[in-house]
Chains A and B, each alone.
Chain A
């Protein structure tokens, strides 16, 4: 059971930062609050008594999304459902709708924010691999001598391990900034025990762009979650694929190599097998999801082994 003595709903970032800077020890920031309430239950944290919760969802400047120099700036109050319902976001961030549709359920997606998911830094957070694939940065704001100071940290560095990030006392996550990947094909793979409300055992995000003939990989982005303490970008595989002919053999080969990246302590063999299949499926689906371009496999017609 979660008990708190105060609940603040600041409406400006300045107000929120001031509250957060002065908040008594143990106070927490909340966005969707969909993680903190289940956390304070028997079997996890048990009954928890906090001095205050500071809710960031009424802060106007954390709402909305903006395009800036080939990047998309998602206000920290962007929730998972936005990646399904907002057409402009769906086109610019093609792996996000596929991630969102697997994330919790329609109801939780209305509340749960991407920024909150990143700050919680669960090793199996669904949001991390697609954000890492999109060269995501998290913007953090703090008050310094009464002024709002901001800094950006690449998400791949921001998440240090399970529940551990580089966020500093007094800082509030204000935005997630991602590459605008219009024209890319996106995919997301996840394995769990059912289709809704399931925590990933492992997950994988892919973005793919071919030349206009659909024959050559111009760009490939791959990231894994749930296979180590933090998110993992498969940069070596990506650069090995850029400029190569699109072929099933190539996809099979790089997928087999991805299995070696698994660094989890538990169920390692299982995760290894999953990752090999995920990378292959993610690349194939991302190719199929690429808008306007029909992909031509070099080895089309060859039978694909199971």
Chain B
């Protein structure tokens, strides 16, 4: 690998290092200087987790060749404050709880710092604009903007520094009190080590060969050329699994790497562990896989048709799970109804897009304990599954949960930890795998795309007499959390309404799409979208206020849930009252509102996005200047740079 000598001033210290010519600034900072507060979230300039100052200007270090910064003055998150201290921006992020998973936070702190350096009096619109290049998935940005505004007030001298301190405790109770997060200082300073930030002596880098086909039989895999390459420590395939292969949250239908056939685009087929990332990636291109492409299945309804391709031999009908719920007598309920509404609702696949792509490190310790460090949301289950897969007793398998840079359910599945363990066992060296953003998108589970067929019977007074709810979800290539998601969707299906007669069926089926798995609400969102839409349409059909029809049907103390649990507490009445008040709801059926409604754009509603806050501010300033006689005429030869 060609090398280049780089000389920079990093956080006020001179640095001279020889490094690979092709490294980006982010690689040089993280790998050569161990400044891992600068994170890699996307590698394409989209997310801002890697923002650093270069010669005083904030830039995205994943978009800058390190050589471009040769001779420059660099400032990273680690250089903002002295050890043990925090800048006003960092203190404000701590104060408001702006850091949740923390992965975007170093970049956010850098962007906020840049904003206030550029304009110490920046208003909220300008703050939003200047933070526009940084993405956060946990907070919805509210706490972050609040933090920058507090910091701005202190920096601009409009508020005393004391506003950055923790609020005085209110007596002995923490309830109703702003408590600062214990982990915030580690996140706002970039000191917290996520899995991709960890380095162990002699550590190898892993890269994964993924399937280009949605459904194909693997005829052969030839790894010999890759294995013979200098710097390659091992190549692994499904053949390296010593125990009973298969993992999954409910059904263990997913092999560590494709076994015999691939079932979705992006499925792991083989993996290489090598001395460095470039060698590992080059070795991937030397692995020869012969595929026999099979007919693919890409639609949930097609999966249920006779003669559809079979994705898993154990499930010839392609059904991952069917959850039926029955209560009362739906035929009788519909017979009693004055009105029957029927409709279909569909929701799409959604990616979690946590800022931290999947990453992990595995090693075998001196007592032969196979240890995996990763941001897994389910380490105990992973440990049990991996013990069977690698044929070790449970006391020889250890999982350590590294800080999770956002999960939202997407890190429940053991989609790479097994490969790391196998490579560590094969080489007896620590092995690290850091997903690229593209890899995270293609290989990790998604929210289930679902279709709901809904039938609702109602009396003229708004009372629901019966519901028939049938959901078909695309589970994708593997079971993952589908069973639990279908269970939750069934339990929550008809919403917080007491319905005497119901027939609920939720099904997830196998297809050759990217697997579906856990995602916040775990099936509840798809069901509620259908149910709440039906409630609004029922209100419209019956000329009722949407709050009213919900109050008529809501579960109360003593109600029987859809699964016939008697409720000892219920709060929907208070929830509806609060929502009605907060939204300044104007009473009436949905059809009486529309163009004349007066409840929008109230004092506490979020304004729509605008751009050019600083242009608008400066244009109005410039106009004043021009009117007072400042000349616009510029000299022809004026040099303005």
Kindly state whether residue A105 has any CB partner on chain B within 8 Å: yes
Given A55-B68, A98-B615, A107-B58, is A42 in contact with B46 using a C-beta cutoff of 8 Å? Answer: no
Q: State the Cβ distance, A26 to closest chain B Cβ, in Å.
A: 14
How many residues on A have C-beta within 8 angstroms of the other chain's C-beta atoms?
Answer: 57
- The answer to whether A2 touches B438, judged by C-beta atoms less than 8 angstroms apart, is no
- The answer to whether B44 touches A41, judged by C-beta atoms less than 8 angstroms apart, is yes
Q: A110 CA to B111 CA in the complex, in Å? A: 13
Kindly state whether residue A289 has any CB partner on chain B within 8 Å: yes
- The answer to whether A69 touches B636, judged by C-beta atoms less than 8 angstroms apart, is yes
Q: Which residues on B sit within 8 Å (CB–CB) of A41?
A: 43-44, 436, 438
Give a binary string over A282-294; 1 marks a CB under 8 Å from any B CB, 0 the rest: 0000000101100
Given A57-B68, A66-B639, A67-B637, is A291 in contact with B4 using a C-beta cutoff of 8 Å? Answer: no
How many residues on B have C-beta within 8 angstroms of the other chain's C-beta atoms?
Answer: 55
- The answer to whether B133 touches A108, judged by C-beta atoms less than 8 angstroms apart, is yes
Kindly state whether residue A211 has any CB partner on chain B within 8 Å: no
Kindly state whether residue B439 has any CB partner on chain A within 8 Å: yes
Q: Which residues on B sit within 8 Å (CB–CB) of A291?
A: 622-623, 626, 632
Kindly state whether residue A34 has any CB partner on chain B within 8 Å: yes
- The answer to whether B615 touches A97, judged by C-beta atoms less than 8 angstroms apart, is yes
- The answer to whether A42 touches B436, judged by C-beta atoms less than 8 angstroms apart, is yes
Q: State the Cβ distance, B413 to closest chain A Cβ, in Å.
A: 21
Given A9-B67, A292-B626, is A182 in contact with B632 using a C-beta cutoff of 8 Å? Answer: yes
- The answer to whether A3 touches B634, judged by C-beta atoms less than 8 angstroms apart, is no
Q: A243 CA to B285 CA in the complex, in Å? A: 64
- The answer to whether B67 touches A7, judged by C-beta atoms less than 8 angstroms apart, is yes
Kindly state whether residue A5 has any CB partner on chain B within 8 Å: yes
Q: B22 contacts which of A2, A32, A88, A292 (Cβ < 8 Å)? A: A2
Given A4-B22, A67-B635, A106-B130, is A84 in contact with B614 using a C-beta cutoff of 8 Å? Answer: yes
- The answer to whether A33 touches B63, judged by C-beta atoms less than 8 angstroms apart, is yes
Q: Which residues on A sit within 8 Å (CB–CB) of B48?
A: 105, 107
Kindly state whether residue B324 has any CB partner on chain A within 8 Å: no
- The answer to whether A88 touches B634, judged by C-beta atoms less than 8 angstroms apart, is yes
Q: Which residues on B sit within 8 Å (CB–CB) of A55?
A: 65, 67-68
- The answer to whether B65 touches A86, judged by C-beta atoms less than 8 angstroms apart, is no
Q: A67 contacts which of B4, B51, B634 (Cβ < 8 Å)? A: B634
Q: A43 contacts which of B4, B111, B438, B626 (Cβ < 8 Å)? A: B438
Q: State the Cβ distance, B30 to closest chain A Cβ, in Å.
A: 15
The chain A residue with its CB closest to the CB of B57 is A110
Q: Which residues, 166 to 188 on B, are CB-close (under 8 Å) to A?
A: none
Interface centre among A87, A106, A292, by most chain B C-beta atoms within 10 angstroms, is A106
Kindly state whether residue B114 has any CB partner on chain A within 8 Å: yes
Q: B63 contacts which of A3, A4, A108 (Cβ < 8 Å)? A: A108
Q: A6 CA to B612 CA in the complex, in Å? A: 40
Q: Which residues on A sit within 8 Å (CB–CB) of B638?
A: 66-67, 88
Q: Which residues on B sit within 8 Å (CB–CB) of A6?
A: 2, 21
Kindly state whether residue B132 has any CB partner on chain A within 8 Å: yes
- The answer to whether B619 touches A289, judged by C-beta atoms less than 8 angstroms apart, is yes
- The answer to whether B65 touches A195, judged by C-beta atoms less than 8 angstroms apart, is no
Q: State the Cβ distance, A4 to closest chain B Cβ, in Å.
A: 5
Q: State the Cβ distance, A275 to closest chain B Cβ, in Å.
A: 20
Given A34-B45, A37-B44, A47-B281, is A92 in contact with B65 using a C-beta cutoff of 8 Å? Answer: no
Give a binary string over A164-206; 1 marks a CB under 8 Å from any B CB, 0 the rest: 0000000000000000101100000000000111000000000
- The answer to whether A38 touches B63, judged by C-beta atoms less than 8 angstroms apart, is yes
- The answer to whether B2 touches A89, judged by C-beta atoms less than 8 angstroms apart, is no
Kindly state whether residue A21 has any CB partner on chain B within 8 Å: no
Q: Which residues, 1 to 15 on A, are CB-close (under 8 Å) to B?
A: 1-7, 9
Q: State the Cβ distance, B94 to closest chain A Cβ, in Å.
A: 24
Q: Which residues on B sit within 8 Å (CB–CB) of A42?
A: 436, 438-439
Q: State the Cβ distance, B271 to closest chain A Cβ, in Å.
A: 16
Q: A55 CA to B43 CA in the complex, in Å? A: 20
Kindly state whether residue B87 has any CB partner on chain A within 8 Å: no
- The answer to whether A195 touches B45, judged by C-beta atoms less than 8 angstroms apart, is no
Kindly state whether residue A91 has any CB partner on chain B within 8 Å: yes
Q: A89 contacts which of B114, B622, B640 (Cβ < 8 Å)? A: B640
Given A7-B67, A38-B45, is A108 in contact with B637 using a C-beta cutoff of 8 Å? Answer: no
Kindly state whether residue A102 has any CB partner on chain B within 8 Å: yes
Kindly state whether residue A53 has any CB partner on chain B within 8 Å: yes
Q: A70 CA to B635 CA in the complex, in Å? A: 10
Q: Which residues on A sit within 8 Å (CB–CB) of B24?
A: 37
Give a binary string over A87-123; 1 marks a CB under 8 Å from any B CB, 0 the rest: 1110110000110011011111011000000000000
Q: Which residues, 600 to 641 on B, are CB-close (under 8 Å) to A?
A: 609, 611-612, 614-615, 619, 622-623, 626-627, 632-641
- The answer to whether A66 touches B637, judged by C-beta atoms less than 8 angstroms apart, is yes
- The answer to whether B133 touches A105, judged by C-beta atoms less than 8 angstroms apart, is yes
Q: Which residues on B sit within 8 Å (CB–CB) of A66?
A: 637-640
- The answer to whether B63 touches A111, judged by C-beta atoms less than 8 angstroms apart, is yes
Kindly state whether residue B62 has any CB partner on chain A within 8 Å: yes
The chain B residue with its CB closest to the CB of A182 is B632
Q: Which residues, 14 to 44 on B, are CB-close (under 8 Å) to A?
A: 21-22, 24, 43-44
Q: State the Cβ distance, B101 to closest chain A Cβ, in Å.
A: 21
Q: A117 CA to B51 CA in the complex, in Å? A: 22
Q: Which residues on B sit within 8 Å (CB–CB) of A65?
A: 639-641
Q: State the Cβ distance, B4 to closest chain A Cβ, in Å.
A: 6
The chain A residue with its CB closest to the CB of B60 is A107
Q: B62 contacts which of A37, A75, A92, A292 (Cβ < 8 Å)? A: A37
Kindly state whether residue A64 has any CB partner on chain B within 8 Å: yes
CB within 8 Å of B: which residues of A? 1-7, 9, 30, 32-34, 37-38, 41-43, 47, 53, 55, 57, 63-70, 75, 84, 86-89, 91-92, 97-98, 101-102, 104-108, 110-111, 180, 182-183, 195-197, 289, 291-292
Q: 14 additional contacts, CB 8 Å, given A41-B43, A182-B632?
A: A6-B2, A7-B4, A34-B63, A43-B438, A63-B641, A101-B614, A102-B611, A106-B130, A106-B132, A107-B111, A108-B45, A195-B611, A291-B623, A291-B626
* The 7 A-B residue pairs with the shortest CB-CB distance in the complex, in nearest-first order: A105-B133, A196-B132, A64-B641, A7-B67, A38-B44, A88-B640, A42-B438
Query: Can you list 10 pairs linking A and B with CB atoms under 8 Å apart?
Result: A7-B65, A33-B64, A34-B63, A38-B44, A70-B636, A91-B632, A98-B612, A111-B59, A180-B634, A292-B626
